[in-house]
Structure 1
């Protein structure tokens, strides 16, 4: 269950008649426990409580319903219960149906309220559902509750009005929902000059069977779209005439309303009875967008873009500079006035604005600075000089664009109330401004200079679609004076790696890149925004910063994208290395992202932000940040055919190209009925990445040429070889056709003379160590692995080091969030200092200790031992062996342990730059070894 579904379930439980016997189980069910789990607890099989009538779910919660007036005493009993401690309950909860008390045993936080109000605290318990980002939910519980109610209304109206759910009317339907949201907010904030006016009017004037609800709403909307002086003679009903003129585009156009049934009317009134003063425009837009987006509705409540994360973009982009100037100004009236005038001309432009989170937060933060200026100048009632038209956006989804504008209007009103007082805010709010400063369109196809032109130029927008509020307008009608000075481009564009892009998205990238590089097909979709921002910056006084998947700063994308960015004169002004862009999904920690800020007038000092293991953000000041987000020169790591240093050559595993006919399960091997000698001669164990990491068993036919004639006398083997021959001959690949002559063999037949050091091609980034290991000369590796054949064991120590882990994670390609190991890009480029014989002896001993530590835990697999949640507690000897390995190797590099991964990368890039610069064109690298 997601946060919205949980809130709805908890609210329904709180509203239902209290049933003391059923409450504990209904509470657990509301937080996503399955019926089978509830049944086991009810039967007593998994109820661990030691209190009469108590219910204890192991590792979750201890609940007890008590007699009236004994809630506090019962909570104490739950806290002191031996079972609570023994079975590691996270929460304790006591209620008598009148009062409700609970405690989070991890941090001691408590809640106490009347029973019917406990649903307001649903965020307190979300850890029960596996959702850990509860602080944000508690702070914005209203947004989640409102989203859930709106979603129910939306779905019911869809069911009742199937014609409104068709593509041609979807924008009209979404526009209707935006009108409702505005009315709910306006009636609770005195914009309608009478609290509850909208909901009360619907309740009183529409029939209980909902037969005329659509007519009542349409009449109210008609009144709000008509100026007061023009209403006479239009026959507007007296109960609708009480509503003020709003228009501003929001109530212009069609006034048709979908039909309601009794359920939809009930939902409408329920939503209206919420306290909309609590709306938080920072994130409300993205929550509401989920209501109208069929794909996102399945993840309703999971989309939370936290304010701290957004400020990681906005603060170093420009807000920190404004705050610094405010501090420097002190009480100097002239400096304060100059700063206020500068702020009034700053434009914030989000060309993938979604529902407006970045724009709303930027606006609120700038208003906060402006308010402090006005306070210091003694101008508390000063009208804001920051125009909403300076917060511009492009969004491909029509409803999201509407919600962005609505969220900004709400943010402006809330800021006016906060900084100027309710009376002045209400006086100047209606009608909302009508300028069109959020456009619906494809940002990679629109001309950003037309939408956000250089200072002093008028705005004439090239439209792709309908106007924001549903009408076509002439260009002259949407012109407005360009208020901008400097422009800051920001946002969280869609990421989409090359594999998952649609044909249309591929064409978008083609338009941006085809005249620059032939390799554009390998780029992530977000690359288009970086390129267009860099192009925009060559024509304007601007800087840009985007959230992006970290893949654009890793592997093959770096040499494709970043030289093009740098050619425009832009440099990386600041960056935040990889972190989780968290959301509210119960089993989704969020995608791993980076933040990259670019500018063609970057300051001499650049800021590189990174997270330490404890989650603390550290800031490094540096003269340059390269495309890998490392403090250092702008080096690009290119594939290398041979190793850079004194390390052994790595080969890819053997490719069968056999349609599965050279591979066998243990059962298939047994069915061959081979003698012991034949099995020894023709069968070997083969390891793909899964077999190597998870300890799975798989076998293959391994037939040397000298034994082919004997193998063909075994009918099942002969049949398999013949099938392979036919498959290879039928292939369009000429190389495969040529392999038909040796259809008894893999394409490569590489094996070790002694042993081989094996590294899988793909491994999870969640493993703290690359899963390298040893296989014997009788084993075979498939093409999902790489191997160093007969290499000294100290090479394994290098691969197992944290240094190598961070290098691979930075310079190699990613498969989603997994590391995709590459011999040419990862191993051959890995910078290793000159090693002494003693260094090699020490590293050999480290590798041996790692292997012995693993042997100690046999039959545990690599997957078991390197599970990040189990490694330290269950396999401490393995962790200790790797710690010793890192200590030895890092001392070889710098004489001490590195402080963090950032420092590791800085040293590796420094060494890489030095080693590659020493190589002359055409000259081979230092000693390279290959032993097959």
Structure 2
């Protein structure tokens, strides 16, 4: 489109045309959208890349544009405020979460950003006024400009939180006691919010004041004055507490850039766990008597957040429960010819929380106490004459470690328990806490993530038909975490809705799963399962409707019940590579060569060392470093290798002494508080043998000794690329190692069938898949009766794939990682030929996961009855030397 008239003139023409549309005829909505995009500089919808779907009886007309904008068009005269929840649910379950969602009735356009601001729109625009008021829509321009909104409550909340958090930080820096500073700033928050809500004073909030007045500096008074200038009636309570607390973090200092849990994510729990079940019951009530009975029950619903933090989940749950009550009262009033007016009875007294952080609990009390005013204000309800005041919430919101205290009775449990990976729990909590935890929860595996304890405790605490919704690490659906948490929940309850993987809004570096369930087994009806692909906050979303959600939170066949096969365990072919425990054991290849040149016998303890970045990132895939491995030699024998020994003594020994001393100090502290408690000797053991690798993997080396090559794959990966590696090379713990050297075995492991089993059974690190021998390998069923011809076909396809891959690496002068990012036609075709050959060896038809799962169950049963089955590798299938010779080539990654 040419430059043409200015946008103001184009929007004036658009507004005039829109005013002539009836708003409910066929074609009106598409004409509106076409003219709107022309006004913003596009030739037409097709040119803009927009898609349009006309209105039907159940849905409005919808226009989608890129991943940025969704426009819903309703007939003229439609109350758009009553369509917000419907639009949100469509955005949440049926789209890739465009940033902006607009609802329009031809006269008015209401613009939302559901991921940031749920209760109110960012802006409300009269179509007739768009020539003047279009700053909120400038992202639609062909050359987009940053939009400006008139009701950005999140931005306002950030600024208000930051001013008060800065006052706190200034007080602490100049020496004011942290507790006094906390109470002072919290009191300031209460006063500002009370003023914004037109409350007479903040005394009824029940917060303790600091002991005596504080003399403030000019800078502190300045930040308080700036905070007072904010429109506190528009501060978002679900967001404020988290931002305020983040701003008081000594490391960050500011709330302006802090992450917070968006209300869209909170609604992923509140909506399916609390709102939707009650709305369905309200809509099903056929008589006034039934509605009155529901109202009495609704007023008694008890909601618990056992890790309440600043109270954002509780506030949203309270507001939504109040909204439901108002809908129910309108229904009762409509069915009544006379009778007394029923008043709202939902109260914050029915909301409970636990948290270890005393300040967080104070914030949660403040959030709920003020929430009973703001929620009623937002919903247009008169103030509650029986509003909770002063110390009424002292028993509702308590300071406690939820895993070691009694929980209040609850019909609904929701929240975001603390995240802590199992591998870091001992360092974070200490051995004594872990001992208490495992004594208190013997049914939870010691290898499960911390949040699993909360899932189990919540499920056990629920009454029959009680509901829960919790956020967990995305590993709760994997391995021991799944078996200890979601497995029991799925057996005695029903998972009604789940997000398998999501980049959590509360922290951009955390990937989570969200699970909603009811404590009733086999509840019929449709279930929603969603997941996000990619690591960015705006990565694409996918949603499917299924009849059942299993503990793996996967739309694929649930293989979590597969069991280890004795034949796989006995074969002992799968290992994790060597864990050095200290970088001092590693040295560049050139430095190792210099040591060998100086003393040739040093070669006996210097080995090429292959890491994951070497295998995938280097063009030749060869090792770039060597490892010093003294094996099982004692100290005096190790000292004979003077150069390597001196390096390890200089680099490793000091750190192991420090680690052992710190461990001894922690043990002494533990013995003082709990005489006789079990102490840790982890680092003391490493110090006793400081010149040796932490985990040398002697069993692995023994298994590799008779082979000239072995199969390796990076242990944490997005797509497994298997390679043969020379047995002269030591694999690092970044690799999973298979003590197999034949092409047939390589072909099975590199196949799509094994890949699907891998992804369904493995654990993850963020979004990357992690190969685990205990779940992936031990339960993987191998082909049981392939013909000799089929074995040859798999081996040949494997050789062809590696040959083509090697040629492509040379042709493109790239690494394996780069090669597989583009996966061009010939290489893709080679993988498909290998997959067909492996499928034929299995006799695989239909869903590969279902086939492999059924085969696993069959083989498990046959082993239980004493029958021998075919285990891993060619030797287990056909021990004759002739077949092995024809299916074993020699290519491999060799030392550089």
How much has 1:176 moved relative to structure 2? 1.9
Q: Deviations over 1:604-648 (max 9, x none)?
A: 5684613376522112113x7346767878965566664289x99
Distance 1:350 1:698, change over 3 A: same
What is the rounded CA distance, in whole Å, between the counterparts of 1:905 and 1:139 in structure 2? Answer: 52
- Quick check: 1:793 aligned with 2:737? no
2:398 maps to which residue?
A: 440
Distance 1:398 1:809, change over 3 A: farther
2:442 maps to which residue?
A: 517
Distance 1:302 1:888, change over 3 A: farther
Distance 1:644 1:893, change over 3 A: farther
Q: Is the 8 A contact 1:326 1:336 kept in 2?
A: yes
- Quick check: 1:281 aligned with 2:232? no
- Quick check: 1:364 aligned with 2:286? no
Find the partner of 1:916 among 831, 837, 860: 860
2:355 maps to which residue?
A: 395
Q: Deviations over 1:505-548 (max 9, x none)?
A: 765554343155398543322122123223323x6763333211
- Quick check: 1:926 aligned with 2:848? no
Q: Report which stretch shifted further, 251-260 or 146-155.
A: 251-260
What is the rounded CA distance, in whole Å, between the counterparts of 2:586 and 2:378 in structure 1? Answer: 74
- Quick check: 1:383 aligned with 2:340? no
- Quick check: 1:597 aligned with 2:517? yes
Q: Which runs of 5+ in 1 are unaligned?
A: 1-74, 78-89, 92-104, 129-133, 193-243, 454-485, 899-903
How much has 1:420 moved relative to structure 2? 4.4
1:822 maps to which residue?
A: 772
Q: Which runs of 5+ in 2 are unaligned?
A: 1-39, 43-66, 69-97, 103-110, 112-121, 534-539, 658-683, 876-887, 889-896
Find the partner of 1:497 among 400, 421, 434: 421
The 5-angstrom pairing of residues 446-845 of structure 1 reads: 447-449=405-407, 452-453=408-409, 487-501=411-425, 504=429, 507-517=432-442, 521-537=446-462, 542-559=466-483, 570-574=492-496, 576-583=498-505, 588=508, 590-595=510-515, 597=517, 599=519, 603=523, 607=527, 609-611=529-531, 615-622=541-548, 625-626=550-551, 636=561, 642-643=567-568, 649-653=573-577, 665-670=589-594, 672-673=596-597, 685-695=608-618, 697-698=623-624, 700=626, 720=644, 748=701, 750=704, 753=707, 755-760=709-714, 762-764=715-717, 767=718, 769-776=719-726, 779-782=729-732, 784-814=734-764, 818-834=768-784, 836-837=786-787, 840-841=791-792, 843-844=794-795
2:333 partner SS: coil
Q: Deviations over 1:830-871 (max 9, x none)?
A: 2345463465455445534543145313332233334xxxx1
What is the rounded CA distance, in whole Å, between the counterparts of 2:793 and 2:594 in structure 1? Answer: 44
- Quick check: 1:857 aligned with 2:779? no
1:248 maps to which residue?
A: 204
2:293 partner SS: helix
Q: Deviations over 1:7-46 (max 9, x none)?
A: xxxxxxxxxxxxxxxxxxxxxxxxxxxxxxxxxxxxxxxx
Q: Is the 8 A contact 1:652 1:786 kept in 2?
A: yes
Find the partner of 2:299 among 339, 344, 368: 344
Distance 1:719 1:266, change over 3 A: closer
How much has 1:916 moved relative to structure 2? 1.9
Q: Is the 8 A contact 1:185 1:277 kept in 2?
A: yes
What is the rounded CA distance, in whole Å, between the counterparts of 1:364 and 1:846 in structure 2? Answer: 61
Q: Deviations over 1:316-348 (max 9, x none)?
A: 334322122223236x32232232222212111
- Quick check: 1:323 aligned with 2:271? no
1:405 maps to which residue?
A: 365
How much has 1:351 moved relative to structure 2? 0.4
2:664 maps to which residue?
A: none
The 5-angstrom pairing of residues 202-213 of structure 1 reads: none
What is the rounded CA distance, in whole Å, between the counterparts of 1:248 and 1:894 in structure 2? Answer: 74
Distance 1:141 1:815, change over 3 A: same
How much has 1:910 moved relative to structure 2? 4.2
Q: Report which stretch shifted further, 655-664 or 156-165.
A: 655-664
How much has 1:395 moved relative to structure 2? 2.1
Find the partner of 2:220 among 260, 264, 268: 264
Q: Is the 8 A contact 1:509 1:528 kept in 2?
A: no
2:547 partner SS: strand
Q: Is the 8 A contact 1:444 1:532 kept in 2?
A: no
Q: Is the 8 A contact 2:712 2:738 kept in 1?
A: yes
How much has 1:885 moved relative to structure 2? 5.2
2:501 partner SS: strand
What is the rounded CA distance, in whole Å, between the counterparts of 2:601 and 2:329 in structure 1? Answer: 91
Q: Deviations over 1:757-790 (max 9, x none)?
A: 2123x324xx2x1132223465553454333345
RMSD after superposition: 5.4
Distance 1:669 1:288, change over 3 A: same
What is the rounded CA distance, in whole Å, between the counterparts of 1:889 and 1:139 in structure 2? Answer: 61
1:172 maps to which residue?
A: 183
2:745 partner SS: helix
What is the rounded CA distance, in whole Å, between the counterparts of 1:652 and 1:890 in structure 2? Answer: 27
What is the rounded CA distance, in whole Å, between the counterparts of 2:709 and 2:352 in structure 1? Answer: 62
1:580 partner SS: strand
What is the rounded CA distance, in whole Å, between the counterparts of 2:228 and 2:583 in structure 1? Answer: 62
Q: Is the 8 A contact 2:716 2:764 kept in 1?
A: no
- Quick check: 1:147 aligned with 2:158? yes
Distance 1:544 1:592, change over 3 A: closer
Distance 1:813 1:850, change over 3 A: same
1:306 maps to which residue?
A: 262
What is the rounded CA distance, in whole Å, between the counterparts of 1:141 and 1:877 in structure 2? Answer: 52
**TM-score, normalised to structure 1's length?**
0.62
What is the rounded CA distance, in whole Å, between the counterparts of 2:362 and 2:159 in structure 1? Answer: 20
How much has 1:487 moved relative to structure 2? 0.7
Q: Is the 8 A contact 2:478 2:761 kept in 1?
A: yes
Distance 1:833 1:673, change over 3 A: closer
1:3 maps to which residue?
A: none
How much has 1:909 moved relative to structure 2? 3.9
Distance 1:257 1:346, change over 3 A: same
What is the rounded CA distance, in whole Å, between the counterparts of 2:369 and 2:552 in structure 1? Answer: 38
What is the rounded CA distance, in whole Å, between the counterparts of 1:885 and 1:437 in structure 2? Answer: 64
Distance 1:534 1:508, change over 3 A: farther
Q: Is the 8 A contact 1:659 1:724 kept in 2?
A: no
What is the rounded CA distance, in whole Å, between the counterparts of 1:120 and 1:914 in structure 2? Answer: 65
What is the rounded CA distance, in whole Å, between the counterparts of 1:251 and 1:804 in structure 2? Answer: 60
**TM-score, normalised to structure 2's length?**
0.64
Q: Is the 8 A contact 2:361 2:399 kept in 1?
A: no
Distance 1:369 1:832, change over 3 A: farther
2:669 maps to which residue?
A: none
1:210 maps to which residue?
A: none
What is the rounded CA distance, in whole Å, between the counterparts of 1:394 and 1:833 in structure 2? Answer: 52
How much has 1:362 moved relative to structure 2? 1.9
